Chains A and B, each alone.
Chain A
Amino acid sequence: MKKEDYLEELYKIQCRNNRVARVTELAHALKVSDSSVSEMIRRLQKEKLVTFERFGGISLTAAGIKEARKVIRKHQLLEVFFSKVLKIKTHSHEEAHLMEHVLSDAATDKLDSVLKKPKLCPDGNPIPEKNSEVVSLIQLSVKSKAEVIFVASKNKACLERLNSLGLVPQAKVRVVRKLSRGPLILNVKGSEIALGPDVCASIFVEKK
């Protein structure tokens, strides 16, 4: 298993569940043992791509999310290429999965422009943009707009509150006000919500 696979899978799990991921979850998804997950996570932790608390869970860092999105972008563009240009319907996912590791950044950009910069992959998922800026909510300044990637929290009460207030992946938000280093007031779906600095630090967004 390659490092990219871990980042990619971790990203998918976190976006789907809107929380941190567990070791067993990742092992199940990648069909590897818990111990190999732990080993790889330790390596990624050293590279500051993920954070890992023994009893908490695994989460990508902003840098980790960027890396993961890069791989996913390659994967999805390849899928578009297979289905739109080559008209391959079966196994396109597997093919893309193999090729995503060897496709160079330059070739990816070329592929993107040849395909006329598609917004969605064949499954209907949005394709990450090339130079999107990934930060945690606390790093946003007043008036900036962003789209939620996921909430990297393990706190159930916190997650439930945020879910019911509409802070879910792909939700569009705008910072209305901010005190120097937080808390800030966020506009989500027309309502304004005050969030403490610690909550903000666990919410990753893409700057718009």
Chain B
Amino acid sequence: MSCNPKACGADIALVGNPNTGKSCLFNQLTTADAIVSNYPGTTVEILEGKTAIDNKVMHVADLPGIYNLGSSSDDERAATDYIIEKKPGVIVNVVDAALLERNLYLTLQLLELEVPMVIALNFYEELEDNGISIDYNNLSALLGVPVVPIDALRGAGIDILVKTIDTIMQDSYKFDYYHLKYDDHIEKAIDKITEIIEEENIPKRTASINLIEEDDVEWGKAGHKEEVRKIIDELSKEHALNTEIARERHGQAALLAQKVMIQGKPKKHFKDFLDRFTTEPLTGGISLVFIMGLSFFSLFTIGNYLSDLMGKWFDLLIANPLNPLIKAIPSTALQTVLTWGLQGINAGLQIALPYIFIFYLVLGALEDTGYLPRMAYLLDRLMHKMHLHGNAIIPMMLGFGCSVPAVLATRILPNKKDRILTSILICMIPCSARTAVIFGAVGKFIGAGYALLIFGIVLSLIFAVGYILGRFLPGESTGLIMEMSEYRLPQLKNVWKKTWMRVKDFIWVAFPLIIIGSVVLGLLKVYGVLEIITKPFAPIISGWLMLPAIAGITLVYGILRKEMALELLFVLGGSSRLLNFMTPLQIFIFTLVVALYFPCVGTLAVLKHEFGWKKSLAISLFTIALAVAIGGFVGRLFLIMGVPNHGNQLI
């Protein structure tokens, strides 16, 4: 099957419910990188990669996880369109063996499309551990398509799956698609509509069923609207057609599952105990606090350790050998560019990289264990106080890494109000760049306790804003509906791959910006332009916030990337010891402002993309006002409490 992948889709497309291990299978099949995750909503984009079967290069596509073919969400629409329009050579329907009945709902829909397909029963070994087995040969006979048990995590059964795909590609598998029989009145309508419509890219019968289900995508294409609509309108006076069809599929799926599942005696498992322990009210609360505490503790200690290590190696390997060389350059301009550029790299390596790396490592591990949905469950009540639901906790957790993917992840929330409110709160959550500033400035020069105080202030502000704003934002909100995936031991390879992908992104985007920023700043300073620019902001920066004038200019740069505010402060101050040119109180206020003001340009762009200019500008202005107000206020509060604005210690 030779096909241009751009025009007609990949040779192999992976389709299945969320959390069935599709991305994991994708990683097993292909050489390309992909992110594997344990909660719904990550694979929003279609991932493509390559594999070799029988000495031929095959394109593999990983479609977003869906429960249903149709058009009720972006994910559903994307996956359905891909299957129907691009006609991939073979569809691999990835099915969670433990949830066979529910997964079969989608399978029944795929069968109706009569496309070449194979069912991959994933996590099959895990199921046998639970004392259940599936007669997959019988399942294959019943459905008329091949069924292969696999274990995508450990790589078992993949070779047989590949062989089966090859057989299908050679056109040597005889498909005998199982067709669902609906109630008589629906069958009659299907027959009538089938006579009217013309064959397009899906079987007529399936097209008729789609029309009866009133799937918007198909309506637009039916050129015989009137006649068809009459039949359906007549029928829908007496019947709720889409519910009846859905119920029929659920019923059939249950029957099929019953036929092939053989129930044995389930073994007691440690993960069942763990599941219980982490979701019971008391122990669940304790473990939540413990896990969060441990995450932040490791972020702080290991991050600090790596940061120091980076500094040492940078001095030893790069700064010390290069500095004399740079000094020998006759041109001042070139000298400035090189020294400041070098300082920028140093700042990036010391401040951002260590903390961001550790954060994504911890987050990746948490994602892969399946703990995040449990967090959503435990915090649902608390989130209600902010007029949100537990499901909002997942994008918010991502927000501790980077606001950009976090805002995109709000798509898993079912309505606009929740999405906007969560996005506003995400803009205030200390992302890893801001965490780097908090640890790298306050944590390092004043103390870990004060770094935590900043987190405390910011988190209480987030709570207050949610509490107040949630009341006034219009729109209704949908409650928590979330699947609890089983606990799984995270695979080091997967976590590492994921962390590397995310950190790589950071390096490619951030480092050029930091270097260019430092160079521009250096040139401005050397030629005396800097003072002129900072003057108009003096009343706010020096007056209200009590910060040195240079801090103001770095705040502007912080708009590009948050951690640049601190990095350039090092560069401008001429020292990576902040206390040389700032008081502890100033460092505290500066950090607080950086943590709160303006979402960076990346976030602004994604906010604009999701909600339009008006709302994204409103969010930006709101955060600036909040940051300036709170920064000055907390500063005054410290002064009143008798904290000096000089010396080397805060209290």
From B72, B244, B380, give the contact of A196 (CB < 8 A).
B380
Verify B481–A179 contact, CB threshold 8 A: no
Please tell me if B240 contacts chain A, counting CB pairs below 8 Å.
yes
A199-B378 CB under 8 A given contacts A164-B68, A166-B250: no
From A18, A155, A191, give the contact of B243 (CB < 8 A).
A18
Please tell me if B203 contacts chain A, counting CB pairs below 8 Å.
no
Please tell me if A118 contacts chain B, counting CB pairs below 8 Å.
no
Interface residues of A in 157-188 (CB under 8 A from B): 157-158, 160-166, 168-169, 171, 177, 179-183, 185, 188
Verify B237–A165 contact, CB threshold 8 A: no
**Number of B residues with CB within 8 Å of any CB on chain A:** 42
Verify B246–A183 contact, CB threshold 8 A: no
Q: Is the interface of B mostly helix, strand, loop or mixed?
A: helix
On chain B, the residues within 8 Å of A48 by CB distance are: none
A155-B390 CB under 8 A given contacts A28-B237, A180-B281: no
Interface residues of B in 332-354 (CB under 8 A from A): none
Within the complex, what minimum Cβ distance (angstroms) separates A57 from chain B?
Answer: 13
On chain B, the residues within 8 Å of A188 by CB distance are: 102
On chain A, the residues within 8 Å of B415 by CB distance are: 157
Please tell me if A121 contacts chain B, counting CB pairs below 8 Å.
no
Verify A161–B237 contact, CB threshold 8 A: no
Verify A194–B482 contact, CB threshold 8 A: yes
On chain A, the residues within 8 Å of B247 by CB distance are: 168-169
Verify B98–A190 contact, CB threshold 8 A: yes
**Number of A residues with CB within 8 Å of any CB on chain B:** 37
On chain A, the residues within 8 Å of B105 by CB distance are: 164, 166
Chain A proximity mask over B151-171: 1 for CB below 8 Å, otherwise 0: 000000000000000000000
Chain A proximity mask over B49-82: 1 for CB below 8 Å, otherwise 0: 0000000000000000001100010000000000
Please tell me if A95 contacts chain B, counting CB pairs below 8 Å.
no
Q: What residue in chain B is nearest A167 (Cβ atoms)?
A: B481
Verify B481–A165 contact, CB threshold 8 A: yes
From A171, A192, A193, A197, give the contact of B481 (CB < 8 A).
A193
Verify B479–A196 contact, CB threshold 8 A: yes
From B254, B280, B390, give the contact of A194 (CB < 8 A).
B390
Chain A proximity mask over B383-417: 1 for CB below 8 Å, otherwise 0: 01000011000000000000000000000001100
Please tell me if A195 contacts chain B, counting CB pairs below 8 Å.
yes
On chain B, the residues within 8 Å of A193 by CB distance are: 481-484
Q: What residue in chain A is nearest B239 (Cβ atoms)?
A: A16
Please tell me if A101 contacts chain B, counting CB pairs below 8 Å.
no
Verify B72–A183 contact, CB threshold 8 A: no
On chain A, the residues within 8 Å of B478 by CB distance are: 155, 157-158, 161, 199
Verify A168–B250 contact, CB threshold 8 A: yes
Verify B480–A194 contact, CB threshold 8 A: yes
**When chains A and B are docked, how far (Å) is the Cα of A115 from the Cα of B496?**
67
Among A157, A160, A194, residue most surrounded by chain B Cβ atoms (within 10 Å): A194
Verify A160–B482 contact, CB threshold 8 A: no
**When chains A and B are docked, how far (Å) is the Cα of A180 from the Cα of B243?**
33
Chain A proximity mask over B278-290: 1 for CB below 8 Å, otherwise 0: 0111001000000
Within the complex, what minimum Cβ distance (angstroms) separates A137 from chain B?
Answer: 11
A189-B381 CB under 8 A given contacts A158-B481, A168-B250, A195-B479: no
Q: What residue in chain B is nearest A180 (Cβ atoms)?
A: B281
Within the complex, what minimum Cβ distance (angstroms) separates B143 from chain A?
Answer: 18
On chain B, the residues within 8 Å of A179 by CB distance are: 281, 284, 377-378, 380-381
Give 7 closest A-B pairs by Cβ, nearest first. Answer: A196-B480, A196-B479, A199-B479, A157-B414, A164-B67, A198-B479, A192-B484
**Chain B residues within CB distance 8 Å of chain A:** 67-68, 72, 98-102, 105, 237, 239-240, 243-244, 246-247, 250, 254, 276, 279-281, 284, 373, 376-378, 380-381, 384, 389-390, 414-415, 476, 478-484
**Chain A residues within CB distance 8 Å of chain B:** 16-18, 28, 155, 157-158, 160-166, 168-169, 171, 177, 179-183, 185, 188-200
